[in-house]
Amino acid sequence: MKITIHRGANQIGGCITEIATNTTRILIDFGLNLPNNEGKIEDNLATTAQVEKLTHAVDAIIYTHYHGDHVGLFNLVPKRVKQYIGCTALEVMKAKQTYINKSNDAEILELFSTYKSGKAFVINNDMRITPFFVSHSACDANMLLIEADGKRILHTGDFRDHGYLGKGLKKVIEKYIGQVDFLITEGTMLSRGSEKVATEKELMTLISNIMKQKKYVFVQCSSTDMERLATFHKANPKGRLFVCDTYQADILNIFSLAYKKHSSLFNFDDLATFPKSNLLTEMVSKGFCALIRVNGSKGKYAKFIEKSIREIPTSEQCLIYSMWSGYVAEGKHQKSEYIDFRKRFSSVADIHTSGHASKDCLTEVCSLTNPTSAIIPIHCEQSSEYKNLSISPELKSKIITHSCFVDGVNIDIL
């Protein structure tokens, strides 16, 4: 068996991991590099020729979730390679492609195969893959347990335990996964030591307090983060409108159909969707929570939000920024359009928590899975930072940050 980290050992995003036996080769995630502060993506793999080369003899690509730094190269993948993602995740991807009007990409998505959490599937009668649902800032994210050549490999994808749906993480590992041979795991938060990791419930309390003080609340957050959107929806006082455009409404309807049967927290059936006659008049009268996308809203809705900001009393409105602080702080990731938008408001509240596992959560996952052979960090700025976790000396000795041969498996970190 061979495990190859094509990309991700010392960078966040753009993850590509290969697992191969003598008869089967799969890739886990096939993502684009994250954009720079100007919104541009620099990625030398994002060409048809490079993708063709990298996917040569690959049987399947399995995606852990739909974020661009994990799926961003899907549209360049040759049709002969099967692509898999979660059922609800695929619906979200289709809605996004419809919104941005990329018909060719939409056609490719129609060829995707889907998987369901807890249901194993097999590639080439050789490699057994079992997805397990995890909480993340993307809906329908999954860890993947790969069993082949007598080895058990857990690829965590991106995950956390401080979301509403994260409380089952420990139970799932203990009951359904158990000890593994190799753990391939994210470590995003290792380089963000000063960033507070609050729970979604704690965020809801903070947001509720603001909504009691301000009648008109504009929200800047990810349009596909189901748990964060549920936080704002639940915190919005009864009788006030929950305002969004048709794209956001489509996404929320997907979430409702998939998850409201599990919890009323994910029931988004009471949306005030633009365009609607006399919507602004009703917003002024009743108050609202309005979802916005600074660099993603199209045409009429963006203009409507601008008009709303101008016509509503400044003293009664507030912007809640609920995205990574790095986008609005001094540094290479700062987005000028975000900074300019914030200046429109006299009242701005930064309320956010990460979609990624805290150091304590990473420690627990390492300890619970107790890998017999190796821990391979990915999705982190410096994989060597994994040695700073409070895990046993024995586990620390199994952290792999360079190419080597371990227990019959060739590990190649590029």
- For the chain, the average pLDDT equals 94
Q: 130 is in which domain, residue-wise?
A: 2-193+355-413
3-state percent helix, strand, coil for the chain, nearest multiple of 5: 35, 25, 40
pLDDT tens for residues 322-378? 998 888 988 877 888 899 999 999 999 999 999 999 999 999 999 999 999 999 999
* Residue 359 and residue 248 in one domain: no
Q: Are residues 129 and 215 in the same domain?
A: no
* 209 and 315 assigned to the same domain: yes
38 confidence band (pLDDT: 50, 70, 90) = low
Residue 5 — φ and ψ, nearest 5°? Answer: -95, 95
Least confident range of 81-90, 165-174, 190-199, 357-366: 190-199
Q: Is the same domain home to 232 and 163?
A: no
Asked whether residue 211 falls in the same domain as residue 321, the answer is yes
**Of 319, 350, 381, which residue is a domain's last?**
350
> Do 261 and 332 have their domain in common?
yes
In a shared domain, residues 282 and 168? no
Q: Are residues 92 and 133 in the same domain?
A: yes
pLDDT at position 39: 67
Residues 397-406 have pLDDT tens digits of: 999 999 999 9
Q: Indicate the burial class of 282 (C-beta count within 10 angstroms; 0-12, 13-18, 19 or more).
A: middle
Q: Which helix H or strand E contains 413, and what residues bound it?
A: strand 409-413
> Quick one: pLDDT at residue 37?
62
Residues in the chain: 414
CATH number of residue 262's parent domain: 3.40.50.10890
- 407 plus 313 within the same structural domain: no
Q: Are residues 258 and 316 in the same domain?
A: yes
pLDDT in tens, 287-313: 999 999 987 666 899 999 999 999 999
Q: Which of 330, 350, 370 is the last residue of a domain?
A: 350
Return the SS3 of 286: helix
DSSP of 3-62, one letter per residue? EEEEE-TTSSS--EEEEE-SS-EEEEEEPPPPP-TTS----TT-SHHHHHHHTTT--EEE
Query: How many other β-carbons are positioned within 10 Å of the β-carbon of residue 42?
Result: 10
Q: How many domains does the chain have?
A: 2
Among residues 329, 350, 371, which one ends one of the domains?
350
User: Do residues 352 and 324 make contact, with C-beta atoms less than 8 angstroms apart?
Assistant: yes
Region of residue 118 (left: phi > 0; alpha: psi -120 to 50; beta: else)? left
323 and 209 within one domain:
yes
| Strand boundaries in 282-351, DSSP class E | 288-292, 317-322, 348-350
- 56, pLDDT greater than 80: yes
**CA nearest to 369, candidates 184, 162, 130:** 184
CB of 206 closer than 8 Å to CB of 121: no
Confidence of residue 40 (pLDDT cuts 50, 70, 90): confident
| 155, 41: one domain | yes
CATH number of 183's domain: 3.60.15.10
